Structure 1
């Protein structure tokens, strides 16, 4: 599995370089208060709900109050951090939907794909088994597959002492051979794919907002979740926290 953050919410600096009097300010919010783009957008969204100010005025007018002062709840960080804690604890997390992240997710099983698509607030673009040819002699070199970790160290004495990994790999080779033969005799890729297993890998581009990823992590980092999607949940969390460190405390394990 390979997970790469392709894009995340960024400021349009031209807007945030103009102060409330309409003059050009040479310091961005990040330079002035050492805040991130995500924090700036989150503060704008949160305060829009409670302020008489226009959204484009909030950071310039209230930035020092929130980003420039220590948290009044005594729990660390700035008062913007305190505000984020209050919003999340109160359940007003719709304001976090304005922060989005796009990931390239590579080499995951179709079994994982079936699970992640149950999270309906994500957007998906998935590698097609209909248009991608998966014959052994094609550009793809055949289909790849994910091997469950639980196979390690297990043997089948009914099969001459074969390991579970050998049984698994032999079956995948058989499926590949049958897929190749179906394609050879003229079966279309969209129909030949019916014999491919859940273990077959795929690639996808996934986009979601912070609220959805926090919810995803609660559900998919839980001990009862399957290992592959638990790994994905942690990799996504780590990538988001790297660009928006203030979010780390809000990724609660299920």
Structure 2
């Protein structure tokens, strides 16, 4: 039988020189200079060194980024992207997550091609336990028993010659999956504004939103303020 899974999120890769790329994209819209000169020249360093002219914290580059966020000219942030490994999330979360399509790319572990049979590599399908089920002993025991019954049903169908793509119909919404996801910064900020904790999103996708924010800010600390505004 499969086992319980918990969410794991890893940042695999992101745009090098992200801050400088964002600056170049923004200034391209307002400067007579060519983008190659903006990226390679001294203008970025001047903005970095000068105090913010709006009287707020940071450099004038920070002031420029604040202006872009506040004015809604966030298409300039689409040039920065992040690629994540997202593991141990439910099919419920997948259905919610893929509603956010613009600016996202998803590659999801297939139930059609990857076997969830007990005698295969995965050792059965893995599943997510909602905290409110796990917190009630009797409910948790019933849930686990049901997962075992569904595993037996899947194994039996496969044994009878049913292909994986049809046997998977008995697997639950709670079945865990893995994916590689890439999103640009504009899309991530929009996603976070809708799914972050406290906005009424379901617990699992709210947890994912917070994990994505944490990983991005660890890599690019200057972005923390923009998630706070989301």
The question of whether the paired residues in 2 share the 8 Å contact of 1:96 and 1:211 is answered with yes
What is the match of residue 4 of structure 2? none
Structure 2 residue 209 is matched with structure 1 residue 233: yes
Determine if the alignment matches structure 1 residue 65 to structure 2 residue 65.
no
Residue number in structure 2 paired with 1:206: 181
Instruction: Check the 8 A contact 2:90/2:177 in 1, yes or no.
Output: yes
Check 1:51–1:153 CA distance in 2 against 1; reply closer, same or farther (3 A cut).
closer
Structure 2 unpaired stretches of 5+: 1-6
Contact in 2 for aligned 1:221/1:253 (Cα 8 Å) = no
Moved over 4 A (4+): none
| Pairs within 5 Å for 1:184-199 | 184-199=159-174
Query: Residue 142 of structure 1: which of 90, 106, 124 is its match?
Result: 124
TM-score normalised per structure 2: 0.93
Q: Quick one: structure 1 residues 209 and 52, their matched pair in 2 at CA, closer, same or farther if it must change by over 3 Å?
A: same
RMSD (CA atoms): 1.2
State how far apart, in whole Å, the 2-side matches of 1:111 and 1:131 are. 20
Tell me, what secondary structure is at the counterpart of 2:13? strand
**d(CA) in 2 for partners of 1:84, 1:63:** 12
Q: 1:142 to 1:219 in 2, by over 3 A?
A: same
Bigger RCO (CA 8 Å, 6+ sep):
2
Matches of 1:233 and 1:113, distance apart in 2: 13
Q: Mind listing any 5+ residue stretches in structure 1 that lack a counterpart?
A: 11-36, 156-162
Query: Over residues 123-173 of structure 1, what are the superposed CA-to-partner deviations in whole Å (9 max), with x where a residue is unaligned?
Result: 000000000011111111000000000114436xxxxxxx00001000000
Superposition TM-score, scaled by structure 1 size: 0.85
SS in 2 for 1:251: helix
Does 2:151 match 1:168? Answer: no
SS in 1 for 2:201: coil
Where 1:72 maps in the other structure, the secondary structure is coil
